[in-house]
Amino acid sequence: MNPRLPIFVCGDPARGDDAAGFAAVDLVADDLRERAEIVPAGQLDILLLMDLPVDAPCVVVDAVAGLRPGEIWVRPLAALVDRARTLEAAGRAPDLRSSHELPLEQVLALAATLRDAPPVGTFVGIGGGCFEAGTPLTAAVAAALPEFAAAIVAAVDACHGGTHEVGAITAAEAVPC
């Protein structure tokens, strides 16, 4: 068991609900200090994943478009890889927000390709309503932060306990951003 499980916090603190991950881990930073390492990632970098041993779990936290604002969305990282590959096989790349970054699912899929296995761990997301620069969290997301933070803690504990979220997702379900 990794005593300090990495939590990769994605998003942009200056872009509305994209700051939700950062706000949520702030709420539980003291609680997690002994058993998790909070890594502000912004965009998930393949090198962060490649630095982990193949079977070492991690938690990835981000806001998600396509859900009701404030809705909590927890999925295994492997399911995100599956979706990226399904889309690719269908000739559709995962939704691209910007040419400056690789979508989170493609980063996970690349790590899976290079490792012969998908990254181990859990994605914890929250539906966002507004991602405009300079805007605050929307009321719905701000209100759901305690629940979001609790889901992050639960994911960390599940990883430490050797159990991860299971299940699949559909192509159109939601898009981490």
Partner 1 sequence: MSRGTTVEKVVDERVYEVHELTRVEGEGSLKLRVRDGEVIEARLGIFETPRYFEQLVVGRTPDEVIDMVARICGICPVAYQMSAVHGFEDLFGVRIDPQSRALRRLLYCGEWIESHSLHIFFLHAPDFLGYESGITMAADHRPLVEQALKLKKAGNHLIKILGGRPIHPVSVRVGGWSRAPRVSELKEHRPALEEALAFAQETVRVVSGFTMPAFAREPRLVSLRHAGEYPFNDGRIVSSDGVDLPPTAWRDAFEEFQVEGTNALHARSLDGKGVYLLGPAARVVLAGEQLHPLAKEALAASGYAEMIRTNIYASIVARAVELVHACAEALDIIDVYRAPSEPLVAWQSRPGVAAWATEAPRGLLFHRYEVDESGRIRHAQIVPPTSQNQAAIEADLVVAAKQVLDLPHAEATLRLEQMIRSYDPCISCATHFLDLRVEEA
Binder to partner 1 among 56, 72, 110, 169 (CB under 8 A)? 110
Binder to partner 1 among 3, 30, 47, 133 (CB under 8 A)? 47
- 5: enclosing H helix or E strand: strand 5-10
Binder to partner 1 among 13, 15, 27, 46 (CB under 8 A)? 46
100 belongs to the binding site for partner 1 (CB under 8 A): yes
> Which residue in the block uniquely carries the two structure tokens 């405009």?
132
54 belongs to the binding site for partner 1 (CB under 8 A): no
Residues 6+ apart with CB under 8 A from 8: 39, 41, 44, 48, 58, 59, 60, 61
Q: How far is CA 128 from CA 24, 34, 36, 55, 78, in A?
A: 13, 29, 25, 31, 22
Selected range binding partner 1 among 30-38, 110-118, 133-141, 152-160, rule: CB under 8 A: 110-118
**Residue closer to partner 1 (CB basis): 14 or 166:** 14
10 belongs to the binding site for partner 1 (CB under 8 A): no
Q: Which residues bind partner 1 (CB under 8 A)?
A: 46-47, 50, 99-100, 102, 106, 109-110, 113-114
